[in-house]
Amino acid sequence: MSPDSMNVEQRQWVDFGKRSGLKCHRVSIGAMRLPDDEDEAARLMRQAIDAGMIYIDTSRGYGASEIKVGKSLKEGYREKVILSTKWSPWNQKVEETDDASAACTYKRLVESMERLDVEHLDFYQVWSINSYEQYRQVIAKGGMLDGIRRAVDEGLVGHMGFTTHDTPENVSNYLDETDWCEAILFTYNILNQKYQEVIAKAHEKGIATIVMNPLGGGLLAENSPVIRNAIGRDDVVALAHRYLAGDPNVDTILCGISKPSDITGTLENFAKPPLTAEERKTLEKLTDLLSKENMGFCTRCNYCMPCPNGLDIPGILHVVYLERLLECPKVAGDLYKWVANPDKRTRATDCTECGECEDKCTQKLSIMEEMKYAAGKFDEAE
Ligand code: SF4
Ligand code: SF4
């Protein structure tokens, strides 16, 4: 049955992948940006759970998220949810000696349970398998997977999965041999459909498909006139949600909750009719006009790297793309803080105009001019 032929109730509750045997709501809780105040965070979490958002995605690396989630799950709430957390040594070194061994993974897993103050995790995910090399480390004998398997055997964990930013080709290959995997978290939204086919393949195999960044990390919520003009609509956020709701291969999306309207707004959009397959295709053609390739901008091919001064050239140019070409200054400014580090002298303003990068740029971009632009927008504004 396609989503557009179901009633609202049928659409809202789906299998959380056939392998797990669990059911979930199509909207789940992303617990990365909970309010600082623990009581406020607990109230928000419970509002979401009461509204049906029962799958919870947190991480050892999301600051105090696990602690806040744990506090929200008292008084009977633990039994209502599918609780998932994640960790990997390449995303977060709790100690310098952290590695991808079974022993270290098991230790971090148990720590997460203590932080969450629970006796059982429904899911534990390997956090960001981003390359074939990392994948090999995960599945190697005595590697991360064995650490999680030990916890499963001991009854501490119910199911295993992973999150990824790897190439779709690599992820597709992993799917052919990851019988252990019961859930995968992918990026997917109206500006980024690169995992669409892999998501379909995972769904077909009975793996729960979870979508992160449904609004492009805030991009689609920034009310950009460029995006509104490209799609010919003002209701960008609703359209972005209805687009994902219309993909039968997506089990659930993560709604990052930091205020009550994040919950109510997202659920309202998922109660609206999902986009039909035809509407989805039309929208994809329109948003494709905003791609870097079609705008003739930096494609992140990395041929210009490394910069002798340590600048993340594609990273800074991505920020410029967001700020100038998509007119999303807020998201761009937030991202720039991650990309450019004043202590390491890797801000745009640290470009010495040596010109090495421009000789190698596949897009023949005026990188030095772009660095000056970024410096003016972000470094001088500090
Ligand atoms: S011109 Fe600037 S950005 Fe390019 S390689 Fe030289 S220092 Fe790096
Ligand atoms: S070579 Fe040009 S297009 Fe490729 S990442 Fe560098 S700046 Fe971007």
What are 238-284's pLDDT values in tens digits?
999 999 999 999 999 999 999 999 999 999 999 999 999 999 999 99
- CA–CA separation, 274 vs 294, rounded Å? 28
Helix or strand holding residue 14 (H, E): strand 13-15
Residues 242 and 200 in one domain: yes
> Of 261, 286, 311, which closes a domain?
286
Residue 112 Cα to ligand 1 midpoint, Å, equals 42
Residue nearest to ligand 2 atom 3, measured at CA: 298
Of 146, 147, 145, 176, the C-alpha closest to 162 is 145
- CA–CA separation, 46 vs 77, rounded Å? 8
Q: Which ligand ends up closest to the CA of 360?
A: 2
- CA–CA separation, 244 vs 259, rounded Å? 22
Residues 266 and 369 in one domain: no
Return the pLDDT at 2.
Answer: 55
Helix or strand holding residue 185 (H, E): strand 181-187
Residues 329 and 193 in one domain: no
Q: Which ligand ends up closest to the CA of 348?
A: 1
Residue nearest to ligand 2 atom 8, measured at CA: 298
The number of beta carbons lying within 10 Å of the beta carbon of residue 352 is 12
- Please give the backbone phi and psi of residue 311, each rounded to the nearest 5 degrees, phi first: -75, 145
Residues 199 and 55 in one domain: yes
Residues 274 and 129 in one domain: yes
pLDDT digits (tens, 9 = 90+) for 279-296: 999 999 999 999 999 999
Residues 228 and 359 in one domain: no
- The answer to whether 304 and 361 have CB atoms below 8 angstroms apart is yes
Residues 299 and 279 in one domain: no
Q: Answer whether 372 contacts ligand 1 (Cβ < 6 A).
A: no
Residue 358 Cα to ligand 1 midpoint, Å, equals 8
What pTM value is reported for the model? 0.92
Return the pLDDT at 40.
Answer: 97
Residue 58 Cα to ligand 2 midpoint, Å, equals 34
> Strands 13-15 and 23-25, how do they pair?
antiparallel
Return the pLDDT at 345.
Answer: 86
Return the pLDDT at 342.
Answer: 82
Residue nearest to ligand 1 atom 4, measured at CA: 357
Residue 297 Cα to ligand 2 midpoint, Å, equals 8
Q: Which two tokens stand for residue 343?
A: 């202590």
> Of 286, 320, 345, which closes a domain?
286
Return the pLDDT at 114.
Answer: 98
CATH number of the domain that residue 167 is part of: 3.20.20.100
> Of 254, 286, 318, which closes a domain?
286
**What 3-state DSSP class applies to 174?**
helix
Place of tokens 């977060």: 92
Residues 319 and 244 in one domain: no
Residues 359 and 220 in one domain: no
Residues 265 and 314 in one domain: no
Secondary structure (DSSP) of 263-321: HHHHHHHHHSPPPPHHHHHHHHHHHHTTSHHHHT------TTPPPTT---HHHHHHHHI
- The answer to whether 333 and 316 have CB atoms below 8 angstroms apart is no
Give me the residues of the chain with pLDDT under 50, please. none
Task: List residues near ligand 2 (CB under 6 A).
Answer: 298-304, 313-314, 317, 360-363, 365, 367
- The answer to whether 241 and 235 have CB atoms below 8 angstroms apart is no
Residue 355 Cα to ligand 1 midpoint, Å, equals 6
Return the pLDDT at 5.
Answer: 58
Return the pLDDT at 382.
Answer: 61
Q: Which residue range is the domain that position 75 belongs to?
A: 3-286
- The answer to whether 174 and 135 have CB atoms below 8 angstroms apart is yes
Return the pLDDT at 3.
Answer: 53
Q: What domain count does the chain have?
A: 2
- Nearest atom in ligand 2 to 302's CA: 5
